[in-house]
Chain A
Amino acid sequence: MYKLLLCLRYLQTRYLAFICIVSVMLGVATLIVVNAVMSGFSTKLKDRLHGVLSDVVVDTDRMEGFPDSPEVMMAKIKASPAGDRIEAMTPTLEVFAILQFHFRGQLMTKPVRLIGIDPAGRASVGGFSEYLVKNHATPEKAFELTPEALQRHDWNVKRAEVANPLDLPDPLAVPSVRPLIPEPNALPAPAMEIGVGTPELKLYGVVPGYTLAHFRYRNDQGEVVEEAALKPGDDVTITTVGGNDLKPVWGNFLVSDYLRTEMSEYDQTFVYVPIDQLQRLRGMNNRATALQLKLKTYEQDKLFVCNEVRKIYPYADINIATWEEHQGPLLSAIEVERSILNILLFMIVGVAGFSILAIFTMIVSEKFRDIGILKSLGASSHGVLSIFLGYGFLLGSVGCVLGTAFGLYITAEINAIEAFLTKLTGTAVFPRDVYYFKEIPTNVDPLSVLAVNLGAISIAVVFSLLPAFRASRLHPVRALRFE
């Protein structure tokens, strides 16, 4: 009984105990906040990495695509034992290309990854509709041009026809921070010709990556400004290679939407066009270069499905891989980062542990006489050891409870705190243009909070072991004579 009584009394009356609690509290709060932010970054990054890839991707490097048409491939896979485990499938056609468009009279060219998709099918395997800026609720309309886009297209055509296109008012214009470059000859009329295949006088939509279609720069005030280089209705020319002799082919498309994954790699290089148009452009007869598969239960079925598809297409030049295998190097980099961070965090906890050791040693020194009194009254060495171990446990527990509350509060308010610190210091703590995240992502994992708490309590107990052992070994006569 005396152990519990003294633990509680020491906790209430020792200012050193308060320092110890604050030490544990700060350690725990730091660990929870850092873990939550790191996990938030990691989860968001993983989401993004998974992002535009379906669960399993079957692809080939053959220029002419798969040997079978997508319909035949999907029928074969559906009929295999893996068929029941697949929720959705869709073919895609991927090829490198050059995107050209005019911006303020200048011709812009960008190397891109051109992907032909069936928008409804692509949406069914995930990682598409949620990233569409305008049509995320109706992905099947991703390539459809809205009346506003068509109006802008008409205006572009008219502008090319007049002597000075800058005289025409832009009906959808937003105020520009940069002066327009008066170079009318640089603005061509949109040409709807198709390089290979049958020319059609139809307007086709294209969904470029958000960063491809926007410029970011800092203004005089140092603020990040974003300006649309391509607006819905603007025309772009996409050049790639096609035909048996791989000659340059090109087509004109009108921007219908943007893809905004917030992963710069995708947003800077991906351009989606209707798969049938890309097949026509490249002179491919209903062939695809990739098949995207969505599984019913990914973790459980990924290996089985990959193996079954491999049995159907056992060719070296047909690659079957999960999204994780596709993103292997990046995922490994995240894991390495996490491991290094954990080592660093452990060192922080170690420092907190040593402060507990120092404070406990002081507390035990202060309590020398009490230990002598207790022993003279019949307390055993084991009992004295239990008092100080219990005291360490209690300090650790109280510190953990307060630290957890404090850490969770900081995690919940981290963006407000970041805004306050940015205002206070004048320097952006979390530069949004670097990370492409609107706010600091956090993800509180209850298991990790529990692990931090258990770890901190264990460290408090372990580091109180040495002083507690010293206290228990103290000779009562020496302790009673201690001044």
Chain B
Amino acid sequence: MLIAENLTKAYRRHAVEVRVLNGLNLEVKTGEFLSIVGASGSGKSTLLHLLGTLDAPDSGKIFLDGRRIDNLPSRDRDELRNKTFGYIFQFYHLLPELTALDNVLMPAYIAHSTFGWFRERSVWRKRADELLQKVGLGHRMKHKPRELSGGEMQRAAVARALLTNPRVLLADEPTGNLDADTGGEIVRLLRNLNRDEGVTIVMVTHNLEIVSVTDRVVKMVGGVVTDDTKKHIPSPKLIAV
């Protein structure tokens, strides 16, 4: 479904060049729950940004269902991020001025003009209500991010990522800022989404405990994939889930 071919990416600051990806190859299959692990600086987040068209590789190609997406015009890439990919970030990244409900509705706000929105708002409101109920935030819809706990904010972020029924969910250390129990809840939520709704999930983490619930674990070192296995490190705690 999602294929990365020989990706390279380097960041330059003045005369210093830091190579983050060095000819990385990866294939993500449809309906798969893939986790990417690796030490800090191994290029996990950069890979996620490239896969989700937030950034462009220096060289190499990315294909989605056989269509090359890394060199698309910005308008098409914006549309992909809006409709095909859903993002979940470590620091939740909710907009502080908006309520949980408005945050969840943001992808739909972006997709519609003002008039278009008023025609279809009831459909989207219903969908957002359902998602917030699903992630257990039905009673917190009108609350602003500062009134929510870390776990609640991340659940709102998950609901937001799912609003437009994306085909691929890209999660960048979704439990990195949460305690073990809350992090476990989020991972269970993602697991259920993958299992029940068939959403393809690519999750970057350095928490080896949570990767056991994923279908496949990819390990990155120095900007390349060094290990690609299923159920790399089993976790009794999470398996019990």
A and B form one complex: yes
Binding site for B on A (CB under 8 A): 1-2, 4-6, 9-10, 12-13, 369-370, 372-381, 383, 475-477, 480
B74/A381 in contact, CB under 8 A? yes
B93/A1 in contact, CB under 8 A? no
- Of A13, A369, A373, A383, chain B has the most CB atoms within 10 Å of the CB of A373
B101 CB to nearest chain A CB (Å): 12
B144 CB to nearest chain A CB (Å): 9
A373/B93 in contact, CB under 8 A? yes
Residues in A whose Cβ lies below 8 Å from that of B78: 375, 378-380
A471 CB to nearest chain B CB (Å): 14
Q: Among B87, B95, B114, point to the contact of A1 (Cβ < 8 A).
A: B114
**Known A2-B106, A5-B102; contact A480-B74, beta-carbon cutoff 8 A:** no
- Bound complex: CA of A147 vs CA of B130, how far in Å? 97
Q: Among B89, B109, B160, point to the contact of A2 (Cβ < 8 A).
A: B109
5 additional A-B pairs beyond A9-B97, A376-B54, beta carbons within 8 Å, are A1-B110, A6-B97, A376-B89, A378-B78, A381-B74
Asked if B233 is at the interface of the complex by the 8 Å CB criterion, the answer is: no
Residue interface mask B62-99, A partner, CB < 8 A = 1? 00000000000011001111110001010001111110
Residues in A whose Cβ lies below 8 Å from that of B93: 369, 372-373, 376, 480
Residues in B whose Cβ lies below 8 Å from that of A377: 81-82, 87, 106-107, 110, 160
Residue interface mask B41-70, A partner, CB < 8 A = 1? 000000001001011000000000000000
**Known A1-B113, A2-B106, A377-B87; contact A370-B95, beta-carbon cutoff 8 A:** yes
B95/A477 in contact, CB under 8 A? no
- Bound complex: CA of A380 vs CA of B80, how far in Å? 11
B177 CB to nearest chain A CB (Å): 13
7 sampled A-B residue pairs with Cβ under 8 A: A5-B109, A375-B78, A375-B81, A377-B106, A378-B78, A378-B107, A380-B75
B97/A10 in contact, CB under 8 A? yes
Q: Among B54, B82, B94, B102, point to the contact of A477 (Cβ < 8 A).
A: B54
A-B contact count (CB 8 A): 72
Residue interface mask B103-123, A partner, CB < 8 A = 1? 000110111111011000000
A1/B112 in contact, CB under 8 A? yes
Residues in A whose Cβ lies below 8 Å from that of B82: 377-378
B110/A374 in contact, CB under 8 A? yes
Residues in A whose Cβ lies below 8 Å from that of B113: 1
B14 CB to nearest chain A CB (Å): 16
- Bound complex: CA of A374 vs CA of B87, how far in Å? 11
Interface bracket on B: 20 to 34
- Bound complex: CA of A4 vs CA of B94, how far in Å? 18
Q: Among A6, A12, A370, A378, point to the contact of B79 (Cβ < 8 A).
A: A378
Residue of A nearest to B84 (CB): A378
Residues in A whose Cβ lies below 8 Å from that of B55: 475-477
Residues in A whose Cβ lies below 8 Å from that of B160: 377
Residues in A whose Cβ lies below 8 Å from that of B102: 5
Q: Among A373, A381, A383, A480, point to the contact of B95 (Cβ < 8 A).
A: A373
- Of A2, A373, A381, A480, chain B has the most CB atoms within 10 Å of the CB of A2
- Bound complex: CA of A378 vs CA of B161, how far in Å? 11
B106 CB to nearest chain A CB (Å): 6
Residues in B whose Cβ lies below 8 Å from that of A12: 97
**Known A1-B113, A477-B49; contact A380-B74, beta-carbon cutoff 8 A:** yes
- Across the A-B interface, give the 5 residue pairs with the lowest CB-CB distance, nearest first: A378-B82, A2-B109, A1-B117, A9-B97, A378-B81
- Of A1, A369, A372, A476, chain B has the most CB atoms within 10 Å of the CB of A1
- Bound complex: CA of A217 vs CA of B94, how far in Å? 73
B116 CB to nearest chain A CB (Å): 7
- Bound complex: CA of A104 vs CA of B47, how far in Å? 104
A208 CB to nearest chain B CB (Å): 71
Residues in B whose Cβ lies below 8 Å from that of A369: 93
Residue of B nearest to A377 (CB): B107
**Known A377-B87, A378-B78; contact A13-B110, beta-carbon cutoff 8 A:** no
Residues in B whose Cβ lies below 8 Å from that of A376: 52, 54, 81, 87, 89, 93
- Bound complex: CA of A478 vs CA of B52, how far in Å? 15
